[in-house]
Structure 1
């Protein structure tokens, strides 16, 4: 496990801090249940800056390819993460509550020991689809079912109830 990046969020913004690096998927433990495997990594960049109203915030970018678990077939689903977000830093609970009332603003509480990897993991989880699945007809089980139906469809021409009707007539 690599060393965790912990920043004092307001100090990071005051000093116009910039950090970047890579996070192996193995380290994003809360994502593991959604993943098909733990292959790959995310590259990230976080910078402290002020918004147009001179409020402190963090500009966060994360990119990478991960393998989600398809909810239909439970197979591997390639997914590209291209996350860009600005998080306003609220100095107290009241500011955070006011920021939460505006749907156009994402805000977090400014704390002196902000774990950047946990923050990135939170944002990635929030950016994922509610139900990850292949497009229609792309699941491996759906493809197998369609192929099976074609084989069976060629062999049987009568409806199952038609077979029962003929049995009924003969008896």
Structure 2
């Protein structure tokens, strides 16, 4: 079975939705940031301390490795879309799902101090959203709005993925 890769802003629900989706579909769940840490033997914070480019290089190596797997739900890091090659690798074996969530909900929910790119405060979240929204939308096969219960987002993805497999781009 094809992988399902979840993309979106930090705090959009990728990990939570991904875990529930993997349980419901009996697919392996992979958090891409955790996978990067295992591959590199460094934390995300340590990689960013070297440079953002160091982290992005590791993320690209990870995307290439994960593209060779199947039957997985993959929660990608929020910046996976910063390099088109990452999406090109992942699209080889995956349906790309953009979990869109309004910025106000994101900033009210997440601990920004634990996210390297968000440590500079709320304005940074809005800036990142403005910078990335077009990329998320252009790279995804399916876009869902995460504006309710997590189970609703999971059901939207399952429904849209079935339609996508029949050749239709989906937005829920």
TM-score, normalised relative to structure 2: 0.26
TM-score, normalised relative to structure 1: 0.26
Higher relative contact order (CA 8 A, sep 6+): 2
Larger Rg: 1
